[in-house]
Amino acid sequence: MIATQPISNWLTCPKPNPRATIRLFCFPYAGGRASVFRTWPDELPAEIEFYAIELPSRGKRIKEPPITRMEPLVRAIAGAIESLSDKPFCFFGHSMGALTSFELARLLRRDGRPQPLHLFVSGSSAPQIKDAHPVTFDLPEPEFLDVLRRLNGTPREVLENEELLQLMLPTLRADFELLQVYEYEDEPPFRFPITAFGGLQDKEVSREDLEGWRVQTAATFILRNFPGDHFFLHTDRSRVLWAMSQELSSLVSRR
């Protein structure tokens, strides 16, 4: 179980590291909890202090209502991480987490606050690419469950357990709503690098969708693909973390 630092209910820190050079904040996918990243700190450089974002309506925040709009979500997270911006930091987000971390970085820039050194986006189309998929968050339950099965990200034990399923469905619908009502607005590209990760068998996000992230930075852009579907970050976790560790170690060496 992840031990939570008493900084904010938005954050968990499995291994506090006061000597860290850089902090890494990780943002979960739709329906995901901070615990999906529980093993990651063991596979990252020793100079990194790791934080996972815990969103309302899951984990220890299960009784809190979900947030279905991007602006209040990133505004709340910005407040939660404010006390931790005394050290350089990076963002990683998968799927919904990629979009959330992107919009959080833009909010920090608008507010004149410290920016990430690097943005890692995973399993997500570039934000300016209009989603061609139909709206699904308000589908009747059988059709909505079909969508979840196709994405292959909801554990089978949840889909086959009616009690667990009914507990999770409002959170999943809320997260899908947040994504499906999101409207992109033009802003200048970032001045820090972006690395995009994708799954070679991902039917939801194509290589072209990932390439679209290139226009969101005036600095270096890197695209890396891994075997697996939309949730390759689980099935090929070690290679994903190895690739991210290379970039993080490079940042550490320049501090």
Q: What is the pLDDT of residues 81-115, one digit of tens each?
A: 999 999 999 999 999 999 999 999 999 999 999 99
Question: What is residue 61's predicted lDDT score, i.e. its pLDDT?
Answer: 93
The values of phi and psi at residue 125, to 5°, are -65, 150
* Closest by Cα among 202, 186, 199, 197 to 221: 197
Indicate the SS3 state at residue 51: strand
Give the Cα separation of 192 and 188 in Å (integer). 12
Give the Cα separation of 165 and 158 in Å (integer). 5
Question: Which token pair is 184?
Answer: 């992109």
Tell me the one-letter amino acid at 26.
Answer: C
In terms of residues, how long is the chain?
255
Say whether pTM exceeds 0.75.
Answer: yes
Question: Which token pair is 241?
Answer: 């973390």
CB 226 within 8 A of CB 200: yes
Question: What is residue 7's predicted lDDT score, i.e. its pLDDT?
Answer: 60
Query: Can you spell out the DSSP letters for 122-145?
Result: ES---TTSPP-SPP-TTS-HHHHH
End-to-end CA distance of the chain: 32
Top-tier CATH class for 11-130+188-253: alpha beta
Question: What is residue 130's predicted lDDT score, i.e. its pLDDT?
Answer: 87
In DSSP terms, 224 is beta-bridged to 197
Q: If you ran DSSP here, which 8-state letter would residue 67 be given?
A: -
Kindly give the parts of the chain with pLDDT less than 50.
1-6
Which residues are known catalytic residues? 95
Give the Cα separation of 145 and 130 in Å (integer). 24
The values of phi and psi at residue 214, to 5°, are -55, -35
Residues in contact with 223: Cβ distance below 8 Å, sequence separation at least 6, in sequence order: 195, 196, 198, 207, 210, 211, 213, 214
Residues in contact with 171: Cβ distance below 8 Å, sequence separation at least 6, in sequence order: 31, 57, 58, 66
